[in-house]
Structure 1
Amino acid sequence: MAATVITGRTRPTKVKKQANVQKRKRDDVDVEKLEQAVTELDLQNGSYKDFTDLPLSDPTKQGLKASHFAVMTDIQAKAIPLALKGHDILGAAKTGSGKTLSFIIPVLENLYRLQHIGADAGLGALIISPTRELAIQIFDVLCKLGRHGHMFAAGLVIGGKSLDAEKQALTRMNILVGTPGRILQHLSQTVAFNVDDLKMLVLDEADRILDMGFQRDVDAIIDYLPKERQTMLFSATQSRKVSDLARLSLQDPEYVSVHAEDKSATPKSLTQNYIICPLEDKMDTLWSFIQASKKSKILCFFSSAKVVRFVYESFRHMQPGIPLLHIHGRQKQGARLDTTAKFSAAKASCLFATDVAARGLDFPAVDFVIQVDCPEDVDTYIHRVGRTARYNREGRGVIFLAPSEEEGMLQRLEAKKVPVEIINVRQKKKQSIKSQLVHMCFKDPALKYLAQKAFITYAKSVYLQKDKDIFKLKEYDFEAFAASLGLPGAPKIRFLKDDDGKKKKQASRQTLEVSGSSEENEGEENKKEKPVRTKVARMFERQNQDVFADHYKNLVTHGEDEEAFRSADAFLGGKSAIPADDDDFMAVKRRIPADGEVSDDDDDEDEPKTGGRIINLQGASQPLVIDSNRREKLLKSKKKLLKLKDKGHKIVFDDDGNAHEMYELEDEDDFKAKGLPEAQRQKFIETAKEVVREADVEDKAAQKMKKKDKLRKRKDRERNEAEKVVDEDGEDVEEDAVGFGGVDEDLLANFRADADFSDQDGEEAPTKKPKKWFQSDSEGEDEGRGSKKRKKVRKSKRDVIEPQTLEDMESLAAGLLG
C-alpha cells in the first residue's frame, strides 16, 4: 500500500476550478503546427477557395461550420492569407462582398496563435466602425464565430449606453468593437484601460472614418496606440491618400482590390435607374411608388433627420397600407436597435433613413433602395445602393434627381463606373397628396412646424454641399417645394434672400439713381395691382394659439411683415417677436447710444402711435392705441391697465412740510464746501455719539420710573386684598395678632379666613379632597393648602385658638405628632 501524502490543503480541491485553470492555459493547443502552416502559405501562386484550405484553428472552423460559411468570396480569398501572415492591408470591394469576415477571422487566428487570452494579457485587437449599428453587427458576427471554443473576452463600446458599466468590464477585454467617439472617451477617462500591448487595429468603412467627421477622434486614438501593430482598412470605396496612410503608421500595406478591373463599381445583380423629379414632385412620386410596391421591402434615404421625421409622420397619418419605420442619428440607441431589428425581420416594410443606415448594415432581402435626396458624392451613392443586391441577390436602386442636378451627377457616376439608366414615371399611376398635406399641416400645428424645419434643413444641406456643379442653389424652386410640403409659403432663410449689398457698394451713383427711380416706378405699379388673397392664405395668417406660435411667426415672416411684428411687439412692451437668425454667432440685441448721440428707438418713442383710436390714460406718459378688439378689452381690466401706466415715486416730507424723494443724491459742490471727506466722517461720528448718549440718558430715566411705578402698584394691590378680607370677616384685625409670631397683616387675614371653619353664618364649609390610605390627617390638610403662607397661618392659628370639640383635639394631636 502506498504511503499517504500529506498536503497543506485544508479543503478538498474543487474539480471545476482545476479544469478551468487547465483550460485557460490551453496546453492542448499545438501553436507550432499552426505557425508552420501559416508560414507555408503561398501568397503568389496559391489559390484558396474554401475556408478548409486555410490553416485555421479548430474553434474557428467550428464557428464557420455552424454559421454555414464554406466558400470564400474574392475579397476573403485574397485578404485573409495576407492578414494571417501579419501584413497591413488596404481592402476595397463592392458592398455585400463579405468584408466583415475578411478581418474577423484574422483577428481571432492571430490572437489565438499568440495565446493572447485572459485579463492579464490586455487588449489585443481594436475594431472601429463609423456607426453604432455597424459596430453591433460586427460584434454579432464576432460572437457567432468565436463562441465555439475561443476564450477571448470581447466587448462592445458605443454611445447611448452606461459609461460606468463599460469602464468596469473594459479592463478584462481582449477584443474591442466600438465607435471612435466612445473609444476615445474611454482612452482619456478610464484609468485601467491599457492598450500598450495592442496587436491589431481594424478600421471598417475606413474612408468614412478617415473623413473630416471623425478625423480628430481617429488622430487622438492613434496617439494612444503603439506603432508596432498590424493595421487593416476595409471599405467599398477605399482611400489611398498618402496623408491618410501616414496618419495610421501603415508599414508596406498590401492593396487588395478585387473589383478594380470590373466595368461597374456596383454588383452586377443591381439594377440602377434615375428619375428626373423636380423638388415639388418628390413627395407625390415617393407616395405613388410606395402605393405601387406594398408587398416589397423598401429603403428610402433622405438628407436630414428632420426630413425623415416629417415624411414618416405625414405618411403614417395617411396610412399607405405598408408598415413604416424611420431611423436617424437623433434617436435614442434603443429606438434605433428596435428599428433595425424590425426592418430586418419584416418581409414587406418601408424604412425612411438618413446616411446613418447607408454603410455596412446588412438588411436581408431589400428589394428597392430609393434615394429621394441626391447624395453628396458618388461614394455615398455606392454605399446607399449597397444595402440591396447583397451576396449575389437581385436588387434595384432608384435615385430622384432634380433637373439642375442631372448633368453634374451623371458625370460623377460615369467617372466612377456606375451605370445608371433613366426611367419615366407613369402619369396614370401618379397620385397627388399636396391637398392632404395642406389639410394636415393646418389641422396639426406640430406637423406644420415639422414641415417648416424639414424645409429649412433640406435647404441648408443643399447650401452646404461642396460640389456646386451638382447642387446649384439658385436653380431650385424652393417656393414650390414648400407648397409641396403643405406650407403656405417658404420659411425665412437668410441665404435664400437676394443680397445685393456688394453690388450696391460697387455700383456708381448714377446707376443707383437710375435703379432707385425704376424701383419707385415698379413700387407704384405694384400698389395699383394688389395680389388676390385666397381663403387658405387668410387661414394660415391666423396665429395658432399653441406652443409653436412664436416659431411660426419667426419662420414665415418676410420684409415689411417683420417690421410690423417688431413695432407691434415693441409697443406692447414685450421682447421682439422675431429674434436674431439661428446662424448668427454674435447678434446685437440692444444698442446703447454714446454721449450726445440720439438713438432711433428714443425718437420712435416720442412720436405718437397712429392707426387707431388714441386714448390718454391718467398716469401714463404714452397714449394707448385701440386698433383691435383685444386692445379694446384692456380698458375693462384695471390690472392690465396698471402695466401700461408709469411707476410712481415714493416721497417723504421734511420738518418744514416740503416733499422730497426717498433717496436723493447730494450735489458735488455742496459736498466739497463742507470740508474734506475725513473731517466730515469724524463730524458725523461725533454727532451720532451725542445722539446715542442723549438717548441713553432718557432710556435710563424711563426705566427708573417704570420700576417705581411697578413697586407702587404691588403695594396698592396688597393693601386692597387685606381690606377685602377684613370686610368679609366683619371684624378688625387686632394689634396683638399683628406682632404675634412675626406674622404680618396679610398672613393674619388669610389665617382668619381659613381658620373660620365653624359654621357660624349657616354656610357649608368647602369640601375637602379625600385622603389616601397611606396619608395621615395632617398630610391631607397640608396637601389641600396651596401656599406656605397659609401653612404658617394655620400653625399659628392652632397655637392661639383652643380646641372646642373632640375632632379639633384629634387634628391638633395629629399635627403635633406629624
Structure 2
Amino acid sequence: GLKSSHFITPTPIQALAIPPSLARRDVLGSASTGSGKTLAFLVPMLERLYLLKWGPLDGLGAVVISPTRELAVQTFNQLRDVGKYHNFSAGLVIGGKPLKEERDRLSRMNILIATPGRLLQHLDSTVGFESAGVKVLILDEADRLLDLGFLPALRAIVSHFSPGGPNAQNDRQTLLFSATQSQDLAALAKLSLHEPLYINCNKPGEEGVVPAGLEQYYAVVGLEKKLDVLWGFVKSHLKMKGVVFVTSGKQVRFIFETFRRLHPGLPVLHLHGKQKQATRLTIFQRFSSSKSALLICTDVAARGLDFPSVDWVVQLDCPEDVDTYIHRVGRTARYQSQGKALLFLCPSEEEGMLQRWKDKGLEVKKIKIKQSKVGSLHQQMQNFAFKEPEIKYLGQRAFISYMRSVHLQKDKTIFKLSELPAEEFAASMGLPGAPQIKLFETSKANKSRGGVKQPEVEVDVASEEDEDHENVAAQSKVSGPSLKSVRTKYDRMFERKNQSILTPHYNSLIRHSSSASESEEEVFTLTRRDHDLPEFGGSTSGKSRKPLISSEDLSKRKLKAGGSKKGLLKIRSGPDKVIFDESGHPTTFYEAGKEAEDIARDSKLREKYLDEEKERMRKAHEIDREVARDKKRERKRKRKEKEKEVSKGFFFLSYLPPPPQPPPSPLFIQKWAFQFKVFP
C-alpha cells in the first residue's frame, strides 16, 4: 500500500515514531506541519490490527479522533490508499448525515475516524455499539482539540474505552500527535496516555518551527485599507493558488460575495464552519484539484489539511497566537516544497506580534506595499451596499464579528480595540456608518466549556450615553464577576439624569417617597385573614350563615379545591352564555334553544324554515353552476389556442426541404414532428 502511494523513504517523525508505536508504547509526537504525521500513526495502527488477526466479527479495534471534518475526511482517504490491501472495514463518522444511517453500519466497523461530537453521540445513544475492545486510540491535532473546547468530550470518550496501559486487560495503546506543544496537552496526556514516549522533531528552542521552504513576510496595513490591499494582491497574482485566512465566518461570506461580484480573474471559493457538510467537501475537493484558485476561509482549514501546490498563504487578520500563525502558514511549503506567506498587521498589532515571534524564535521579514499595487474598492463597496441589502447586511455582521473577536482576545498587547479606526473600517466595507456593538466581559471560567457561568457585565460601545457607560465599565473593573445581579438596559434607562425629556410619565413609574413603598407593599403582600367561610350551597346573608371550617384547620388542598371552578360554582351560580342574532339582538343561550324547540314543534314554522333554506340552496347552486361553466369555457379557449399552434407547426413542416434518399422512415418523420412540437 505504501509503494502504490509512492511512499518510499520515511520522514523524520515517521522514522522516530513508528518503531516505538509498533512496540505498543504510547507516543506523544510533535513535528512541523506537512511532515507526515498522518502516516506516523496509520502505519502502526494497521500493523497492530493485522498482527492481532483482527477480523470483521471482532468489532471496533481502532479509533482516530480529528478536530475538524475536513481533516477527518483527509485522514480517511489516506487510510484507504495505504490500507487498501487489508481486509479491515473503515468508517467515517463526522456528522452532517442522518444518525440512523450511521447507526446501521457502525457495528460492522473495525476502524473508525470521527470528530469528537458525533463519536460521543454514538457512544451515548447507539445501542449495540461496543467500544470496550479498542486496541488503538489516536488523537490527531490534539492542541486544536483543546482549543475548540473538546476536553470534556474527550474525557467522556476515554471513559467509554477500557483503561490502557501494560497492566490493563486489553492493553489499549494511545498515540497523540500535534504540530505544536502547549501546557494543556499535559492534562490530556495524563488523562489518556500511560508512560508515553515524547518525540519532538522540532529544533531545540524552536517549538512548532515552520517548514524550511517557507518564505515569511508581513506588512503593516491600516484596518481600513486591508480589503484594498488584498484586492491589489489578487489582481497581481492571477495565476496563483492561494489561501486567505480571516477571523470569522461572517467575514468570509462578505469578502466572498463582494469579490465574486468584482470578477477578479480567478476562481474564488469560501470555506467556513457554518456550511453544510456536502458543501464543505465539494469546496475542499474543488480547491484541491484546481491549479489556480483563491480560497477564503476561517481557521477551520488551518490544521492538518493538505492542499496540493499552494503558492501563497495570506492572513488578512492577525492570528490569536503564534501557534495559530504556524498552523496557518503550514498550508503551503508542505514536505520539501516551496511556498510564501504574507500577514497583514494593523499598526497597533505590530509591536506585540514581533515580540511573540521573537519569543518563539521566528524571523519574519517586513515588506512595504507599493501604492500602485493597492486597489480602490470604496466606490464599488458603496454601490453593492446600496443596491443589494444582502451585501449591506453581511457587511454589518462582518464588522460586528471582527470587533467582537478583537475584544475577546486574551493578548491585549497585540489586540487593542480602542486603537482601531471603526468608522473608517465601516466606510471601507461600504457601510454608511459603524454599527452599534454590544460587547460582554466574561470571566475566564465562563469562556471554557464546562466551566461555571459567571454573571456577565454588558458594555455598550458606540452609543450616545458615553458618560453612563464609562461608569458601568468602571464598576465592572472594580467588582468584576462578583456582581450579584445582571445589569439590563432597563436599569440603565432608569439611571439617566435627563428623564424629563424622554417621557412625562417617568414620575409615575418610580417611587419617590416612603409612602409609595408602603402602599406598594400593602398591595402586593398577601396576609391571611381570620374570617369564616360560608357553607357550600348555603345562604351568605343574615344569621343563617353557618361557618364551614376555620381557616386554621384548612389544608392547602382544601383551600385549592375551594378556589377551583367547581368549588366556586357551589357558592355562586355559573355565568350565562349570550348569543346574538343576525340583527345584533342579544339572547341567552337557553332562550335561543327554547325558540328552536318551538319552531320544531310548529309545523307551519317548520315548513317556512325549510322553504327558506331550499331557496338559499337553489341560489347557491346557480352560482356554482355559473362558475363551473366559466371554467369550462376557459379550458375550451385554451385548447383551441393550443390547436392553432399545432396547426402552424404542420404548415411549417410542409415547407421543409425534401429528406435525403432513401425515403424517410416513419421514425424520421416522427423525429421531425417532435422537434417542431407537432405531437405535444
- The alignment's TM-score, normalised by the length of structure 1, stands at 0.55
Q: Cα gap change, 1:439/1:155 in structure 2, threshold over 3 Å: closer, same or farther?
A: same
Q: Cα gap change, 1:676/1:480 in structure 2, threshold over 3 Å: closer, same or farther?
A: farther
Q: Distance in 2 between matches of 1:294 and 1:600?
A: 59
Q: 2:126 aligns to what?
A: 190
Q: 1:159 aligns to what?
A: 95
RCO higher in structure (CA 8 A, sep ≥6): 2
Name the amino acid aligned to 2:111. I
Deviations 1:77-102 (A, max 9, x none): 11001100011111111111111000
Q: Give the match's secondary structure for 1:197.
A: coil
Q: 2:196 aligns to what?
A: 253
Name the amino acid aligned to 1:207. D
Q: 1:299 aligns to what?
A: 243
Q: Distance in 1 between matches of 2:570 and 2:287?
A: 87
Tell me, yes or no, if the aligned pair for 1:490 and 1:556 is still in contact at 8 Å: no
Candidates 161, 180, 183, aligned match of 1:237: 180
1:339 aligns to 2:244 (yes or no): no
Q: Cα gap change, 1:321/1:185 in structure 2, threshold over 3 Å: closer, same or farther?
A: same
The alignment of Structure 1 onto Structure 2 pairs a total of residues equal to 485
1:276 aligns to 2:213 (yes or no): no
Q: Cα gap change, 1:105/1:675 in structure 2, threshold over 3 Å: closer, same or farther?
A: farther
Candidates 457, 464, 483, aligned match of 1:559: 464
Q: Which residues in structure 2 correspond to 1:337-736 (within 5 Å)? A: 337-495=281-439, 558-559=463-464, 587=488, 603-604=504-505
Q: Which residues in structure 2 correspond to 1:197-208 (within 5 Å)? A: 197-208=133-144
Q: 1:313 aligns to what?
A: 257
Q: 1:118 aligns to what?
A: 56
1:144 aligns to 2:81 (yes or no): yes
Name the amino acid aligned to 2:331. R
Q: Cα gap change, 1:675/1:294 in structure 2, threshold over 3 Å: closer, same or farther?
A: farther
Tell me, yes or no, if the aligned pair for 1:374 and 1:401 is still in contact at 8 Å: yes
Q: How many angstroms does 1:559 deviate by?
A: 2.8
Q: Distance in 1 between matches of 2:383 and 2:226?
A: 18
Name the amino acid aligned to 1:258. C
Q: How many angstroms does 1:600 deviate by?
A: 11
1:168 aligns to 2:104 (yes or no): yes
Q: 2:649 aligns to what?
A: none
Where structure 2 has 5 or more consecutive residues not aligned to the other structure, the ranges are: 165-171, 442-459, 467-484, 509-538, 548-567, 577-589, 605-680
Q: Distance in 2 between matches of 1:444 and 1:173?
A: 50
Q: Distance in 2 between matches of 1:92 and 1:334?
A: 32
Q: CA RMSD in A?
A: 3.5
Q: 1:88 aligns to what?
A: 26
Q: Give the match's secondary structure for 1:559.
A: coil
Q: Give the match's secondary structure for 2:341.
A: strand
Q: How many angstroms does 1:177 deviate by?
A: 0.2
Q: 2:554 aligns to what?
A: none
Q: How many angstroms does 1:153 deviate by?
A: 1.2
Q: Give the match's secondary structure for 1:231.
A: strand
Q: 1:105 aligns to what?
A: 43
Deviations 1:116-163 (A, max 9, x none): 2113x1211110000000000000010111112x11111100010121
Tell me, yes or no, if the aligned pair for 2:243 and 2:297 is still in contact at 8 Å: yes
Q: Distance in 2 between matches of 1:305 and 1:678?
A: 75
Q: 1:290 aligns to what?
A: 234
Q: How many angstroms does 1:589 deviate by?
A: 7.3
Q: Which residues in structure 2 correspond to 1:65-84 (within 5 Å)? A: 65-84=3-22
Q: How many angstroms does 1:556 deviate by?
A: 12
Q: Give the match's secondary structure for 2:91.
A: strand
Q: Distance in 1 between matches of 2:289 and 2:326?
A: 24
Name the amino acid aligned to 1:216. P
Q: Distance in 1 between matches of 2:115 and 2:326?
A: 22
Name the amino acid aligned to 1:237. T
Tell me, yes or no, if the aligned pair for 2:142 and 2:185 is still in contact at 8 Å: no
Q: Distance in 2 between matches of 1:683 and 1:159?
A: 62
Q: Give the match's secondary structure for 1:70.
A: coil
Tell me, yes or no, if the aligned pair for 2:217 and 2:366 is still in contact at 8 Å: yes
Q: How many angstroms does 1:240 deviate by?
A: 5.7
Q: Cα gap change, 1:600/1:227 in structure 2, threshold over 3 Å: closer, same or farther?
A: farther
Q: How many angstroms does 1:445 deviate by?
A: 1.0
Tell me, yes or no, if the aligned pair for 2:245 and 2:317 is still in contact at 8 Å: yes
Q: How many angstroms does 1:413 deviate by?
A: 1.4
Q: Cα gap change, 1:139/1:675 in structure 2, threshold over 3 Å: closer, same or farther?
A: farther
Name the amino acid aligned to 1:215. L
Q: 1:135 aligns to what?
A: 72
Tell me, yes or no, if the aligned pair for 1:367 and 1:396 is still in contact at 8 Å: yes
Q: Cα gap change, 1:276/1:200 in structure 2, threshold over 3 Å: closer, same or farther?
A: same
Q: Which residues in structure 2 correspond to 1:736-751 (within 5 Å)? A: none
Q: Distance in 2 between matches of 1:428 and 1:601?
A: 53
Q: How many angstroms does 1:488 deviate by?
A: 1.4
Q: Distance in 2 between matches of 1:484 and 1:681?
A: 71
Q: How many angstroms does 1:342 deviate by?
A: 0.9
Q: Cα gap change, 1:586/1:326 in structure 2, threshold over 3 Å: closer, same or farther?
A: farther
1:181 aligns to 2:117 (yes or no): yes
Q: How many angstroms does 1:249 deviate by?
A: 3.3
Tell me, yes or no, if the aligned pair for 1:491 and 1:556 is still in contact at 8 Å: no
Q: Give the match's secondary structure for 1:86.
A: coil
Q: How many angstroms does 1:460 deviate by?
A: 0.4
Q: 1:216 aligns to what?
A: 152
Name the amino acid aligned to 2:132. D
- The alignment's TM-score, normalised by the length of structure 2, stands at 0.66
Q: Cα gap change, 1:114/1:477 in structure 2, threshold over 3 Å: closer, same or farther?
A: same
Name the amino acid aligned to 2:145. I
Name the amino acid aligned to 2:410. K
Q: Distance in 1 between matches of 2:310 and 2:493?
A: 62
Name the amino acid aligned to 2:358. E
Q: Which has the larger displacement, 133-142 or 241-250?
A: 241-250
Q: Which has the larger displacement, 208-217 or 94-103?
A: 208-217
Tell me, yes or no, if the aligned pair for 1:219 and 1:247 is still in contact at 8 Å: no
Q: How many angstroms does 1:428 deviate by?
A: 1.6
Deviations 1:370-401 (A, max 9, x none): 00000111111000000000021100000111
Q: Distance in 1 between matches of 2:24 and 2:572?
A: 92
Q: Distance in 1 between matches of 2:262 and 2:186?
A: 51
Q: Give the match's secondary structure for 1:66.
A: coil
Q: 2:612 aligns to what?
A: none
Where structure 1 has 5 or more consecutive residues not aligned to the other structure, the ranges are: 1-62, 498-554, 562-583, 608-670, 689-694, 711-818
Q: How many angstroms does 1:111 deviate by?
A: 0.6
Bigger Rg, structure 1 or 2 = 1
Deviations 1:299-333 (A, max 9, x none): 00000000000000011111111110000000000
Q: How many angstroms does 1:248 deviate by?
A: 2.6
Tell me, yes or no, if the aligned pair for 2:252 and 2:297 is still in contact at 8 Å: yes
Q: Distance in 2 between matches of 1:239 and 1:591?
A: 42
Deviations 1:326-356 (A, max 9, x none): 0000000011011111111111100000000
Q: Distance in 1 between matches of 2:152 and 2:347?
A: 37
Q: Cα gap change, 1:674/1:277 in structure 2, threshold over 3 Å: closer, same or farther?
A: farther
Q: Which has the larger displacement, 226-235 or 673-682?
A: 673-682
Q: Distance in 1 between matches of 2:486 and 2:243?
A: 37
